[in-house]
Amino acid sequence: MPIRGGVPPRNPRFAGREDLLARVRDMLGNGPVVLLPSPEHQLGGTGRTQLAVEYAHRHAASYDLIWWIPAEQTAGTRAALAGLAQRLGLPEARDLNRTLGAVRDALSRGEPFRNWLVVFENANRPEDITPYLPSGAGHVLVTSRNPRWTAEVAQSLPVPVFDRADSVDLLRSRAPELSIGDAERLAERLGDVPMALDLAAAVRDATGRPVAGYLADFERRSGELAFPTPVRVAWGLAAEALGADSPADRVLLELCTFLASAPISWRLLWAARTLPLDPELARTVRVERRLRAAMRRIGRYGLAELDPAGERLTVHPLIRGMFGQELSSERHAELLRTVRGMLAAADPGDPDDPAGWYRYTELAPHLIHSDLLGGDAEEVRQLVINCIRFHYARGDYDSSRDLASSAVARWRDALGESAEQTLLASFHLANALRAVGRNADARSLNLQTLRTQREVVGADDEATLATANSVGGDLRMQGHFGQARQLDADNLVRYRRLFGESYPTALRCANNLAADLRLLGDFRGARTLDEQVLRHRQAIFVDGHPEIVASRAELGFDLFGLGDYAGAAEVLAACPGDDDHPFALWAGRCAAMVARRRGDPAARALAEANLAVYRQRFGDLSVDTLAAAVSAANCALADGDLDAAHELLERAVIRYHAVLGDEHPFTLVASAGLAGVVRASGRTTEARTIDQEVLSGLRRSVGSDHPFTLSCANGLAADLAAAGEAQQARELAADTLRRSRAVRGADHPDTAACAWNLALTGGDEAARQQALDGLVKVFGDGHPVFRVTAAEQRLETEVDLPPL
């Protein structure tokens, strides 16, 4: 049996369609096929979805994998494809777009399944699914109401009404005692439209109504309508019969028509029990067994499909639309308020917790159809905000951005720019914009939001502080480390005053301040803060919690920056080694950096494995991936592989220019690293040109005493010495050593390296011996650094970039 995902159960009363099923099979061999309504029934009801379901079940043995994707909304499509990624065994990327691209590519390659069937149901906007369409040996089947499909995307197959014989077979499958003559009379009056036939059969089955009585009612109902169609009349009779049997059931179904075509679970409907309802409906929804019985009755009348377990109802789009047309404006508004309240009552809260994501996955498709953005209750708008955050937390940044953008636009008009939830939506929109690479837009929106929050609710409001933290992240991304430190220090004082220093959000703010200090080269200050944060987190969380891993990784960076490689290795040893969480990846990169500085030959393999995971999870343009590439290049350089180091750094420099800009300190540091490889290749004139430009940029951006600047100055001194400009080289080397002693300390490995380089530039034998003694003190005997000193060569002080 094939692996299946989301495939609806087979319809035991499916009738006919043999020619169409054969055509679908033949056409799929030539590419994707889209099932459309026939031209004379553009609104649907001709059985496209049932045809697709029957095809999937009938030909299941031909496939290794069958995956059903609800495509009415993009978020639902993306969620179903994410589930397929897990089934294909694909590693999860932080950005869902990368995961979805991997799904498409894996299917196209036929790995691990060569024969597959993917069905996109209700794909009414071709452009929404085109990016996800795979090629290869598998098959793609689409159902849609939109005739605007081009031959380049999919082959169109209109699905007509039944042949008369098929109509008779369908009616008699529901009522075997029905004579052929009566079945033909019904079929003729119902125009052989599959949905109309199914509704009529269901009503007759539920009520026992004879053919003559049903046809009389059909004529009566037709006469009441200005534009009667078989589906509209049959639907009206079914809804009328349900209401006569149980008025509460009809109201329950009316509520369902304000939701999407996605399955509606009894738990979602049960959430309405807390709302003010009509007494009969309240009696139904407040007790689970009554609610489930009502769902069965709705399914029995053919007005919705009930899954075999009796857990979920699915309402056809046509049914939804026809109910909506029958409601007065007052009734429509009343039901809409109830549906919005029901959805809000079903909100599990805490959208960052993966344990509740399955609940948000169920709720999210219904936001559009219930026009939740137009809700006037605070809890309704909070559900929207939580769904925005849910999409972001699971890596679906596009869906988060789209929903947040719609919310901001609607709420600015309805509530005003300074309304609390408009500002919250703006905050989340900025996060999503940053995540999709629109850093300038995120920065501008965050600043605007922060200014308004400070004016309206004050600087000490928790939402204001959250936005201020986000602005700090923007400043770090811009390379304005000093401004970020100033802002984050102010935030930390406020958080601690309001919530105490062990409050989780206050700890995250302290974490941000430590990151600022680390980026400014103040590793001592960062270490003090990170040690405090780690102690508090260990008291709050269980060991292995991501925030504890983050603290250990960051403390490891601090110790590495201080030159305490043994201490860093000890701290990092407690971090998971096989986890692809971002914090664990930070720790893994730092472990490779430490191993390199300690002379461990395994360093390069660690760095390359770490870089591979970064690329898979975050893509080549992520700043974290680029930092990992710089670290891997440093390992390749230490290993003597200049070609690999050059390739890694050259690409990193190009991408840093594109992502962070020409003057960002990280762009300049990567360029300095590239100069080091160029210098090691003997092209010292080219290296000098790069180093001079980089040193000037670093002095402007982070100052002359920053470790980034000192590393570049050390490289430029080597360039000058190679060019025969001994005096300039000696002066620069002496200045760099003096600054390194003041900033990093006399016992720091990079200070010891600067001392050796100065001794080479013009020192006597005693100075060289003193410099060697300093290197032995910090590195120990037998370290690979002494192969360089034995060859009378200068030592590099390469930079590994901290996380932004």
What are the pLDDT digits (tens) for 105-124? 999 999 999 999 999 999 98
Alpha carbon distances (Å) from 294 to 234, 239, 299: 21, 14, 9
What's the pLDDT at 513? 97
In a domain, 11, yes or no: yes
Pairing, β 305-306 against β 312-314: antiparallel
Write out the H or E segment, with its range, that includes residue 381.
helix 378-393
Q: In the predicted model, what is the mean pLDDT of residues 723-731?
A: 94
Q: Name the phi and psi angles at 308, rounded to 5.
A: -55, -30
The mean pLDDT of 360-365, rounded to a whole number, is: 91
CA atoms of 782 and 685, how far apart (whole Å): 33
Residue 375 has pLDDT above 90, yes or no: yes
Report yes or no on 281 lying in a domain. yes
The answer to whether position 344 is within a domain reads yes
Residue 780 has pLDDT above 80, yes or no: yes
| pLDDT of 618 strictly over 90 | no
| Alpha carbons 703 and 429: distance in angstroms, whole number | 34
Average pLDDT over residues 664-669: 98
- Same domain for 101 and 224, yes or no, is no
Q: Is the pLDDT of residue 486 over 90?
A: yes
313: three-class secondary structure by DSSP: strand
CA 773 to chain CA mean position, Å: 52
Confidence of residue 41 (pLDDT cuts 50, 70, 90): confident
Query: For residue 731, is it within any domain?
Result: yes
Specify the amino acid at residue 447: L
33 φ/ψ angles, rounded to the nearest 5 degrees? -125, 135
Is 588 inside any structural domain? no
Instruction: Answer yes or no: is pLDDT of 773 > 90.
Output: yes
State whether 221 and 146 are in the same domain.
no
229 and 256 belong to one structural domain: yes
Domain edge (last residue) among 137, 160, 183:
160
271-to-123, 259, 313, 345, 521 alpha-carbon distances in Å: 29, 14, 15, 6, 54
Two tokens, residue 352: 């960052």
Give the span between the Cα atoms of 642 and 654, in whole angstroms: 18
User: How many angstroms separate the CA atoms of 153 and 52, rounded?
Assistant: 18
219 has pLDDT over 80: yes
- Tell whether 725 and 787 lie within a shared domain: yes
End-of-domain residue from the set 160, 180, 197: 160
CB 709 within 8 A of CB 702: yes
CA 426 remoteness from chain centre: 18
638: nearest Cα among 425, 800, 446: 800
Site of tokens 């060991």:
543
CA angle at residue 573 from 568 to 575, to 5 degrees? 110
Last residue of some domain: 316, 338, 357?
357
Residue 258 inside a domain? The answer is yes
Is the peptide bond prior to 582 cis by the omega test (within 30 degrees of 0)? no
C-alpha to C-alpha distance for 777 and 353, rounded to whole angstroms:
48
The whole-number average pLDDT for the span 605-611 is 96
Same domain, 209 and 296: yes
pLDDT tens, position by position, 5-30? 999 999 888 988 999 999 999 999 99
Mean of pLDDT values over 482-509 = 95
What domain range includes position 260?
165-357
Residues 300, 349, single domain; the answer is yes
pLDDT in tens, 144-161: 999 889 888 999 999 999
- Chain position carrying tokens 């970020």: 484
Q: For 272-276, 393-397, 588-592, which range has the lowest pLDDT when averaged over its residues?
A: 393-397
* Phi then psi dihedrals of residue 37, to 5 deg: -65, 155
Residue 543 has a pLDDT of 87
Q: What burial class does residue 3 get, using C-beta atoms within 10 Å of its C-beta: 0-12 exposed, 13-18 middle, 19+ buried?
A: middle
The domain that holds 696 is classified in CATH as: 1.25.40.10
Instruction: Dump pLDDT digits (tens) for 75-105.
Output: 889 999 999 999 999 987 778 888 999 999 9
Q: Are residues 800 and 716 in the same domain?
A: yes
Q: Chain centroid to CA 548: how far? A: 23
Count of domains for the chain: 3
pLDDT at site 435: 87
pLDDT value, residue 75: 86
Angstrom distance (rounded) from CA 36 to CA 22: 16
Q: What does the pLDDT look like over 277-318, one tens digit per residue?
A: 989 999 999 999 999 999 999 999 999 999 889 999 999 989
Which pLDDT score is estimated for 414?
95
Other beta carbons within 10 angstroms of residue 791's beta carbon come to 7
Residues 6+ positions from 714 with CB-CB distance below 8 Å? 733, 736, 750, 753, 754, 757, 796, 797
Does the pLDDT value for residue 794 go beyond 70?
A: yes
- Among 230-234, 353-357, 532-536, 628-632, the range scoring the smallest mean pLDDT is 353-357
Whether 145 and 111 map to the same domain: the answer is yes
Answer yes or no: do 716 and 779 share one domain.
yes
What is the mean predicted confidence (pLDDT) over 539-568? 94
Please name the residues in contact with 412: beta carbons below 8 A apart, sequence gap of 6 or more: 422
Side-chain half-sphere CA neighbours of 381 within 13 A: 20
Q: For residues 202 and 94, state if they share a domain.
A: no
- Domain CATH for 62: 3.40.50.300
Give the pLDDT confidence score for residue 729 in this predicted structure.
Answer: 95
Could you tell me the two tokens for 722? Answer: 């190679």
Same domain, 201 and 117: no
Would you say residue 1 has pLDDT above 70?
yes
pLDDT for the residue 42: 78
User: At residue 795, does pLDDT exceed 70?
Assistant: yes
Whether 787 is in a domain gets the answer: yes
Residue 524's pLDDT is 97
- Mean pLDDT to the nearest integer, 155-183: 94
> d(Cα 639, Cα 294) in Å, to the nearest integer?
71
Token pair 């308020």: residue: 337
Nearest to 414 by CA among 445, 371, 466: 371
Closest CA to 252 of 328, 313, 180, 170: 313
pLDDT for 763 equals 67
Residues 95, 30 share a domain: yes
pLDDT at 683: 96
Cα–Cα nearest to 92, from 618, 606, 629, 625? 618
Q: What is the pLDDT of residue 394?
A: 86
- Matching residue, tokens 């890596």: 395
Q: Which residues pair with 68 in a beta bridge?
A: 119
Please give the full DSSP string across 401-423, using - where no structure is assigned: HHHHHHHHHHHHHHT-TTSHHHH
Confirm whether 755 is domain-assigned.
yes
Note whether 115 and 98 are within 8 A (CB). no
Nearest-5° angle of CA 610, CA 611, CA 615? 120
Asked whether residue 578 carries a pLDDT value surpassing 90, the answer given is: no
Please enumerate, as own/partner, the contacts of 567-571 that have beta carbons within 8 Å and a separation of 24 or more.
568/594, 569/594, 569/595, 569/598
**pLDDT for residue 616 is more than 70:** yes
The average confidence (pLDDT) of the chain is 94
pLDDT(409) > 80: yes
Q: Is the pLDDT of residue 31 over 80?
A: yes
Q: Which amino acid is at 458?
A: G
Do 134 and 114 contact (CB within 8 A), yes or no? no
Q: What average pLDDT does range 586-599 have in this prediction?
A: 96
- Looking at the chain, the whole-number percentage of residues with pLDDT higher than 90 is 84
Q: pTM of the entire structure?
A: 0.86
Place of tokens 């909070």: 382
* E strands, 86-148, in order: 116-121, 139-143
Write down the pLDDT at residue 67.
Answer: 97
